Structure 1
């Protein structure tokens, strides 16, 4: 079985390749793609097929997907206004190549959420249905790494910042999401499924601060801001303006429950409990 993983130069794609290898997929049956394949030379050295692919270049997609049976379509990054078109080109190329399953990394509650990111995922899911593609939606909630990456700043300033109010987020580790993707790509019965994926233990950002305090021994709080002020704070910390607006918008979605799921789908797919917030923070603190 030949499996293509897009975005293998990124963190989720790379982790999925590693998860496929652990599940016994031969390196020669994995096609890792990305725009800059020099970043995954180590995978090529291990026998993984490495091919260049650019979502904006249909010819590169056709060459990258040639001979593939299954595809993990890792959602494109920025700019956000080009995401849906990039995804459509990838879907068209996969169907032309005869791929029998497209696993798409979507977002929790993509069909009903009101964030900008959810809108791009909803458009992609709709296109998969329009093309009658054999597909499965992997609706990932937020990454725990989105919060562990904030730990140094929180320790410096004494608080986590956000615009999430009392909303609960079902964050899980990238490794957990990658393992779920590998399971879907290597087992049967997933075509047409929509998996709402998230960690077993949802938390508020105030609970994030409390857990980080317990793990590190520091006294950390959570400061809730209006969305526009949070975006300004992110931009002031060096986050690019567009990304700052997207992250603030996502926090507002979090406040509305749009990043929460209690489906248990992730735990069932990977066959074990998901990584906890405390575990992730402890690893980051080390």
Structure 2
């Protein structure tokens, strides 16, 4: 039996869909904070169990009988370490056979401040003694492509990534990889550095948007403080604006680049191209 945490989230729901192509629904557990959000999965035969990272008692029952557990990193930046610790301890108590964790690309050397909580979580996993594998996910292309409507409105893509090359992939690509790994044997101790086959700069992305939309869109590189101010001016919360600006600076230092192609090998096909994702985002 495979348990997926955060199963109603953007990545978790895609992992469940990928697993449903490989396993009977009854062998999959969708662990969610609010079970009503998993009702559509329950209707398809998936076991839906309540699991709240902040309520360890709920984790014990959610993980019961699990052969493998996918810990999808929590979304609350700054609170991830205690939440992940609760999952790791509950997984060990439940006798989970293999713990898989979605970390960040090159977590041990990443220049992104976002990597710190992932580094600490990886240390907690090692210290637990649980058989484990680490899926170090690169950037989701959707993180940037969500800004296409604004780019078209103002004719500019703003950022602080400079000429940093970004080897992003579609969220669905990473989900397929997680499902594929969970179906494999002898994975304890493995670390996968997962990124897209095609790397691009934000300038390349702006040109792709311009070409496909027929509207002039340019990339404007800003100092970190100015980019953060622009994000705040657009209505983003302080924490998210800081995270995005810091991540762009990390990208400028190579933090979002990898050319090992482990992701495409796991999913058995090339990763989704930037051009294809821009086309989809433009409708």
C-alpha deviation, 1:130, in angstroms = 1.1
Q: Which residue of 1 aligns with 2:186?
A: 189
Check conservation: 2:111, 2:253, Cα contact below 8 A. Answer: no
Correspondence 1:34-73 to 2 at 5 A: 34-73=32-71
Please give the root-mean-square deviation of Cα atoms over the aligned residues, in Å.
0.9
TM-score by length of 2: 0.98
- Unmatched runs of 5 consecutive residues or more in structure 2: none
Correspondence 1:164-243 to 2 at 5 A: 164-243=161-240
C-alpha deviation, 1:252, in angstroms = 0.8
C-alpha deviation, 1:103, in angstroms = 1.0
The CA distance in 1 between the partners of 2:227 and 2:35, in whole Å, is 35
From 112, 117, 122, the equivalent of 1:120 is 117
- Unmatched runs of 5 consecutive residues or more in structure 1: none
Q: Which residue of 2 aligns with 1:145?
A: 142
* Runs of 4+ with >6 A deviation: none
The CA distance in 1 between the partners of 2:143 and 2:78, in whole Å, is 22
- The alignment status of 1:159 with 2:141, answered yes or no, reads no
C-alpha deviation, 1:115, in angstroms = 2.2
The CA distance in 1 between the partners of 2:251 and 2:111, in whole Å, is 10
Check conservation: 2:113, 2:246, Cα contact below 8 A. Answer: yes
C-alpha deviation, 1:185, in angstroms = 0.6
Q: What secondary structure does 2:281 align onto?
A: helix
TM-score by length of 1: 0.97
The CA distance in 2 between the partners of 1:185 and 1:34, in whole Å, is 19
Q: Which residue of 2 aligns with 1:16?
A: 15
The count of aligned residue pairs is 283
State the Cα deviation string for residues 232-279 of structure 1 (Å, max 9, x = none). 111111111111101111111111101111111001100100000000
The CA distance in 1 between the partners of 2:244 and 2:32, in whole Å, is 24
- The alignment status of 1:5 with 2:10, answered yes or no, reads no
